[in-house]
């Protein structure tokens, strides 16, 4: 099983919207939460199959941010 840690930056995390991992990371860095990222990109607005992966990725980014502070 792939975890977000092993995936390339340009891999598509939401296939319904074509939203890439680095796009989600950029929006997170601009202060967007999952709902805002969904509205902005269309991620999570299709089948919903990406929800767990994106939630785990955002949690990971949040933890990295907290560790850096």
Q: Indicate the SS3 state at residue 56.
A: helix
Residue 17 C-beta: closest distance to ligand FES, Å? 6
- 15: contact with ligand FES by CB under 6 A: yes
- 34: contact with ligand FES by CB under 6 A: no
- 14: contact with ligand FES by CB under 6 A: yes
Tell me how far apart the alpha carbons of residues 61 and 65 are, in angstroms, rounded to a whole number: 6
- 18: contact with ligand FES by CB under 6 A: no
Residue 67 C-beta: closest distance to ligand FES, Å? 28
Extract the tokens encoding 66. Answer: 């907290």
DSSP secondary structure string, 14-35?
A: ETTTTEEHHHHHHHHHTT--HH
């Amino acid at each position: 099983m792939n975890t977000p840690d092993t995936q390339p930056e340009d891999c598509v995390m939401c296939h319904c919207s074509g939203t890439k991992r680095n796009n989600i990371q950029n929006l997170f860095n601009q202060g967007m939460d999952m709902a805002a990222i969904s509205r902005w990109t269309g991620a999570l607005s299709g089948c919903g199959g990406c929800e767990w992966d994106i939630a785990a990725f955002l949690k990971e980014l949040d933890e990295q941010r907290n560790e850096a502070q």
